Structure 1
Amino acid sequence: MDKLKMHSPDLSQANIEKIQSLFPYCVTEVYGEDGEIKLAVDFDLLKQELSDSIVEGPQERYHLNWPGKREALLTANAPITKTLRPCRDESINFDSTENLFIEGDNLDALKLLQESYLGKIDLIFIDPPYNTGSDFIYKDNFSVEKSKFLESDGQVDDLNNRLMSNTNADGRFHSSWLSMMFSRLKLAKNLLSENGAIFVAIDDGEVANVRKLLDEIFGRDNLIANFVWQSKDTPGNDSTGVAQTHNHVIAFSKSNSFKPNLLERSDKQIANYKNPDDDPRGVWLATPLTRSEFRERDFYPLVSPDGREVYPPDGTCWRRPKDVIEKLINENRLWWGVKGNANFPMEKKFLSETKDGVVNQSWWPYEFAGSTRNANAEIKKLFDGKKPFDTPKPTQLIKRVIDMCTSKDSVVLDFFAGSSTTAQSVMECNIRDEGKRTFIMVQIPEYCNEKSQAFRDGFENIAQLSRSRIERFFNSINFNDKLTLSNRLGFRTLKVGETNMTDVYYRPDKANQADMFAQVQNIREDRSDEDLLFQVLLDWGVGLTLTISKQQISSKDVFFVNANDTGEGADLIACFASDISNELIKTIAEKQPLRVVFRDDGFATDAVKINVEQIFKQISPITDVKSI
């Protein structure tokens, strides 16, 4: 019976396996620090294999580089032995909701989600710290000490002697911020579905760097757009003499499978369609028939209703070939004005024949996507007239993104949750169109500034405040029967924590002889069965929002994940009790689950432990049986 690994995936090993599939003789085996055999790349052979295209280190090439980039890549790929611990007391509808709120460092959270949500996220919207250097509730200044930067940048030697005269002050300020973003964006890409997209809100200070990061990670061909959002509806005073009234939302797709949804036509746009000639096909829009370039093929005369011979203006031509124009005339699709004496004809575009919506544009005025004024009003409405968040985003902005990129059952991730505007936006979209979208919010429990409104209102950290917004919006909803039954409302809180397993048990290289008898138990004493269950879900890549029920079988607590009312056909059945008997194992096997997990030391006898696999082979051969 195999054991679960109980740590996040080692992405570097996964990448090596991909190389192995292409160039098997370029991959070898070595002993790792823990004494276990692992894969490694023979780079000399790989370079030889790619000799026609490889770029050697010092060669000039176009790319973004900074001190700490390699370390950031290693950080993204390195596995961690942390877990997600359930917190019922800080959740809403814990047992039925399919939304997640994860409290903890988002780098850890993204690693822990790699298997359960690999390729399952349809939209990622993040509003990361803008690296302004100001004191913000979330760590907003990622600059490093000058001496540390100069050493890492190669500008000083081991004796602290300067090697270059240029201090590269800008680099010192940006490098740590870039490393922070790089590792997280690398992990985020893995979670996106093939037709998924990521949207990053940013200001002018780091927009160029964010664009280069996304170019490198997602590929510049997958740029959707740099949307310019008019974030302020009134100009303010600025020391530069130019009022900054905009921010950026840079969007990239996972692949060319992404197809944005059309925008719904506004009442103003529909009002442009008229029917002055009472055409039975309904209202229509008059569109120009001339092209602002000359093509000899499309330069010919048209005869107006009043008998004039009309040519396109000099330097232009008609937009349609002559045979197409003749067809339009026969179908009464040319418009010469009410009296038939217009200088040039127009083409009639009928509303009934157009697409269901209009294409998206890269300019988002505040009337379209909301403003910071709207965002502040929304926060104050939920928090009794107070403003506990300094820079929230308006729900109208994020709902525009949701409308463009999601279907009614999409999964939306925000790993810089902040004020949880994204969570509220997802719920509002579901209420509007009876959708079943779900959200995953990730927020570090950064302490609130003692001078902030949030601290004065009794909030210790941002994660508490973020959850409070979701809860307040939830309580403000005027429920009807359909919404009351919806499993898309509420959220299940999980907190990033140390592994449930003792280090010595899973790191034998750290053990010594004196520890052996002290480490009989491989599970930390302060952990519950539900803690163990969620770490198993993570390790096995099972959904973290599936329904969970608990039954008593042979006087033992048994968990059923995504099972029917009788407990049959479950995605997972888990029992972490002691003294497990053959009878209990047979009862579980009769439920025909896909997976089963027990504690390695939980069996009544060694004979029972040996019999487990045989019992399942006889009763439920489809079941994958493992232990922790």
Structure 2
Amino acid sequence: MDYPKVPQEINNIVGDNVKLLAQLFPSAVKDGQVDLEALKEELGQFKEVDKEKYELTWAGKQGAKKKAQEDVYNRTLNYIEADSKNPETTENLYIEGDNLEVLKLLRQNYYGAIKMIYIDPPYNTGNDFVYNDNFAMGSKESDIAEGTRDDEGNPLQRNQQSSNRYHANWLSMMYPRLKVAKDLLMDDGVIFISIDDNELENLKKVCNEVFGEENYAATFIWTKTSTPPALAYKCRKNVEYVLAYEKNWSPTKYFGSLLDNGDAPLLNTGNPIKKLCFPKGSVHFNYIKNGIIEAGDKEKAKLECDIIVVDGINNNDFELSGQFKWGQETLKSEIESGTYFLVKTDKFSIVTGKYFCMFFGK
């Protein structure tokens, strides 16, 4: 006699009910967990609250705050001479290790000393790995508990959308790293963070808390690909984002060509005629690689002396007269802060751009 087979899959009654609640009352289900107070409010049951405030919170936030303040013990940074190239002149450092531990070690000697930081964290796409910061766990224990490590041996855990702490896990990972990164920045320092749609809103909220909403500088949009996947579920996405925050608000302009392919004109019609001296190495030329540009009237400005161009850059100081928006002191200050100048054609419509560098990534 044939008996009906017992199904191998066991129904997740509770999970199914939570999904039904989420369909009816989205605000009552947060990160896969039912907020009973929010559910009561959806049903018209409210209770008076003495103190309400606008804030970002998640399960595990206090632990993330504590993690940012904890010191790193029994760890040190070792100089490896064999892997270094011209360290006496470059003064560059390349460091491998768990990024949170390394950041904390750097904080001991480089507190408030870093001009610019760039990070490229996991985007939390639903199948990403996030860092597990339980440093007390032995390597064998961690391998067993988490099942995998990154290329540098750092313990990781898969953060799936089915997790009840999908967004919370990601925020708990990001908060201490952002907090320590802020400690490393100079007073006029800036941080750039890559991200996509999955956590753009949460990243901005947690950065507002760590750096201050008033220190938000910009959200850059950059084209990731010109051929987005045709099998995309909702729409074919071809852009990602870079958030910029300053440690303290400054009048710095962020229009560097490396970030948004933009530039700004230095000549504006209506400004009084000024004569500016451009130092050697400050101007890039698109229309000439090597040669001499003779002095004389150009369409947009007057060149007061010849320019020697080597590898597309001026190899001597030269003077240019035109309707410039800056004076000589502003020009000098801008060059010191990373501004360069670009002449695209022989019309001499000179524009400005910004140099950017990177500090650390994934």
- TM-score, with length taken from structure 2: 0.51
Task: Quote the Cα distance in structure 1 between the aligned partners of 2:67 and 2:199.
Answer: 22
Report the counterpart of residue 103 of structure 1 in structure 2. Answer: 96
Q: 1:132: how far off?
A: 1.8
Report the equivalent of 2:26: none
Letter in 2 for 1:174: H
Look up the match of 1:260: 253
Output one character per residue of 1:227-277: Cα deviation in whole Å (capped at 9) or x when no partner: 11111123331332411000010101000235236658x99987x999xxx
Residue 76 of structure 1 corresponds to 68
* Residues in 2 aligned to 1:98 and 1:67: alpha-carbon distance in whole angstroms: 42
Displacement after TM superposition at 1:170 (Å): 6.9
* Other-structure match for 2:45: none
Per-residue deviation at 1:195? 1.1
- Alignment check: 8 A CA contact 1:75 1:183 kept: yes
Q: Quick one: which amino acid aligns to residue 352 of structure 1?
A: Q
Whether the aligned pair in 1 keeps the contact of 2:255 and 2:263 (CA below 8 Å) is no
Q: Distance in 2 between matches of 1:251 and 1:269?
A: 19
RMSD in angstroms over aligned alpha carbons? 3.8
Query: Counterparts of 1:596-611 in structure 2 under 5 Å?
Result: none
1:248 match: 241
Structure with a larger share of its residues in helix: 1
Shift in Å, 1:75: 0.9
**Counterparts of 2:78 and 2:251, CA distance in 1:** 34
Q: Is the 8 A contact 1:238 1:244 kept in 2?
A: no
- SS of the counterpart of 1:111? helix
Which has the higher relative contact order, 1 or 2, with Cα contacts under 8 A spaced 6 or more apart?
1
CA distance in 1, matches of 2:204, 2:156: 19
Report the equivalent of 2:24.
Answer: none
Q: Give CA deviations for 1:172-207 in whole Å, capped at 9, x if unaligned.
A: 111111111100100110111111110100000011
> Which position in structure 2 is the counterpart of 1:194?
187
Tell me if the contact between 2:190 and 2:247 (Cα under 8 Å) persists in the aligned partners: yes
Asked if the contact 2:256–2:263 (Cα under 8 Å) also holds between the matched residues in 1, the reply is: no
Distance 2:172 2:262 in 1: 46
Cα distance in 1 for partners of 2:204, 2:128 equals 25
Query: 1:123, CA displacement in angstroms?
Result: 0.7
The answer to whether the aligner puts 1:352 opposite 2:320 as a matched pair is no
Write the mapping of 1:155-554 to structure 2, written as runs, cut at 5 A.
Answer: 172-257=165-250, 259-260=252-253, 263=256, 283=299, 352-355=323-326, 403=355, 414-416=359-361, 418=362
How many corresponding residue pairs? Answer: 217
> Partner letter of residue 200 of structure 1?
I
Letter in 2 for 1:69: K
What's 2:81 paired with?
Answer: 88
Which residue does 2:55 correspond to in 1?
A: 63
**Alignment-mate amino acid for residue 110 of structure 1:** L
Cα deviation 1:130-172 (Å, max 9, x = unaligned): 112336757886538xxxxxxxxxxxxxxxxxxxxxxx96751
Kept in 2: contact 1:194–1:257 (CA 8 A)? no
Q: Does 1:143 align with 2:172?
A: no
Q: Residues 545-566 of structure 1: CA distance to partner in whole angstroms, max 9, x if unpaired?
A: xxxxxxxxxxxxxxxxxxxxxx
SS in 1 for 2:159: coil
Tell me if the contact between 2:112 and 2:187 (Cα under 8 Å) persists in the aligned partners: yes
2:71–2:104: 8 Å Cα contact kept in structure 1? yes
Q: 1:254 to 1:273 in 2, by over 3 A?
A: closer
> Counterpart of 1:70 in structure 2: which amino acid?
Q
SS in 1 for 2:194: strand
Residue 127 and residue 267 in structure 1: after superposition, are their counterparts in 2 closer, same or farther (change >3 A)?
closer
Q: Which structure has the larger Rg over C-alpha atoms?
A: 1
**SS of 2:165 mapped into structure 1:** helix
SS at match of 1:123: strand
Contact 1:201 / 1:247 at 8 angstroms: preserved in 2?
A: yes
Quick check: which one's strand share is greater? 2
- 1:128 match: secondary structure: coil
Matched position secondary structure for 2:206: helix
Paired with 2:83 and 2:159, the residues of 1 have a C-alpha distance of 34
Q: Residues 121 and 61 from structure 1, CA distance in 2 versus in 1: closer, same or farther, beyond 3 angstroms?
A: same
Structure 2 unmatched ranges of 5 or more: 1-48, 130-149, 270-295, 302-320, 331-352
**Alpha-carbon distance in structure 2 between the residues aligned to 1:183 and 1:249:** 19
Whole-angstrom CA distance in 2 between matches of 1:108 and 1:268: 38
Q: Secondary structure at the match of 2:66?
A: helix
- 1:449-472 per-residue CA deviation (whole Å, 9 max, x = no partner) reads xxxxxxxxxxxxxxxxxxxxxxxx
Query: Distance between the aligned counterparts of 1:88 and 1:259, measured in 2?
Result: 37
Which blocks of at least 5 consecutive residues in structure 1 are unaligned?
A: 1-56, 145-167, 275-279, 286-349, 358-399, 407-411, 419-628
Post-superposition Cα deviations, 1:380-419, rounded to whole Å, max 9, x if no partner, equal: xxxxxxxxxxxxxxxxxxxx8x62xx6xxxxx66332x4x
Work out the CA distance in 2 between the residues paired with 1:98 and 1:235: 40
CA contact (8 A) 1:127 1:201 kept: yes
| Alpha-carbon spacing, 1:191–1:135, altered in 2? closer, same or farther (3 Å) | closer
Percent identical residues = 35
d(CA) in 1 for partners of 2:162 and 2:262?
51
Quickly say closer, same or farther: Cα 1:107–1:354, change in 2 above 3 A: same
Matching residue of 2:346: none
Q: Residues of 1 paired with 2:200 and 2:223: CA distance?
A: 15
